[in-house]
Amino acid sequence: MGQVKITVRKNGPLRVEDPDGLVELFDADGNKYDTVGKLAFSLCRCAASANRPFCDGSHNKIAFQAPDCVIKTV
Ligand code: FES
């Protein structure tokens, strides 16, 4: 089983990569999005996507500026 990797893209989405395509994604009501079998997808951080929670590239059109993320290690 491969390791899931989530990358915070600068001024862009959260990129989710799963070599096994097993990541499950649910909305606030517990409804499951069809992500099984997808090796990668991106989650919108800018709220401009017409396909939320997925990124559709709209962050580029609105010149989204994300706040800096500080990585804390444990
Ligand atoms: S982060 Fe890409 S559309 Fe919102």
Tell me, using a 6 A CB cutoff, whether residue 45 lines ligand 1. Answer: yes
Tell me, using a 6 A CB cutoff, whether residue 41 lines ligand 1. Answer: no
How far, in Å, CA of 3 to CA of 55, rounded?
Answer: 22
Residue type, position 61, single letter: K
Is residue 18 within 8 Å of 4, Cβ to Cβ?
yes
How far, in Å, CA of 9 to CA of 54, rounded?
Answer: 14
Alpha helix locations (H) across 1-74?
A: 58-61
Quote the pLDDT of residue 36.
84
Tell me, using a 6 A CB cutoff, whether residue 46 lines ligand 1. Answer: yes
Mean pLDDT value across the chain: 93
Give me the percent of the chain exceeding a pLDDT of 90: 84
pLDDT, tens digit, for every residue of 29-64?
Answer: 999 999 988 999 999 999 999 999 999 999 999 999
